[in-house]
Structure 1
Amino acid sequence: MKPILPHKRNITPEQAVKVLAKNGIVADEKEAKIILDFLYILAKLTVNQYFNDT
């Protein structure tokens, strides 16, 4: 998956692996990066939709 957003990210895949593990989800760094890419895209879409609807 190609990153759509800029590379300015506050959470690293390593941090995501730790957070996911604390919540019972087993993922390696590659999977965590894919999850983070998805979450950043979802967050951007949500913010854009909120500000465009008002």
Structure 2
Amino acid sequence: METGTKEKRKITSADAVAILKKSGVEIDEKKAGEVLDMMYFLAKLIVNQNFKT
């Protein structure tokens, strides 16, 4: 999922893989990148709907 902008993100795909591995979730970097894209998109959507008028 591409959100249309490439803002700087603090969590990389490799970081996400390492974090998820600690919780017992096995995922490759490509899928982790897709999950991060979705999470950033949802976070932006929630902020825009709830805090911007």
TM more than 0.5: yes
Give how far 1:5 is off: 3.4
CA–CA separation in structure 1 for the residues paired with 2:4 and 2:11:
16
- The runs of 5 or more residues in structure 1 that have no matched partner are none
Indicate the residue corresponding to 1:4 in structure 2: 4
Superposition RMSD in Å: 1.5
CA–CA separation in structure 2 for the residues paired with 1:6 and 1:23:
28
Identity level (%) = 47
Structure 1 runs (4+) deviating above 6 angstroms are none
Paired positions, count: 53
CA–CA separation in structure 2 for the residues paired with 1:44 and 1:32:
18
TM-score when normalising by structure 1: 0.83
Give how far 1:16 is off: 0.3
Give how far 1:49 is off: 1.1
